[in-house]
Amino acid sequence: MISIQPELKRLHSPDIHDLRDPSIDEQKPYCILIQAMFGPSGVEAEESFQFLVCNRLWLEQGHHTDASEPAHCMVLESFDVARIEEHLRRAALDSCGSTWEEVATRLGRYGEWEFKDYVA
pLDDT of residue 62: 75
Domain boundaries of the chain, sorted by first residue:
6-113
Q: Which residues are registered as beta bridge partners of 37?
A: 10, 48
Q: Block means of pLDDT (10 residues each) for the chain, length 120 residues?
A: 90 94 92 96 95 91 63 91 96 95 95 84
Distance, in Å, from the CA atom of 7 to the CA atom of 20, rounded to the nearest integer, reads 20
pLDDT of residue 118: 77
pTM: 0.87
Distance, in Å, from the CA atom of 60 to the CA atom of 103, rounded to the nearest integer, reads 34
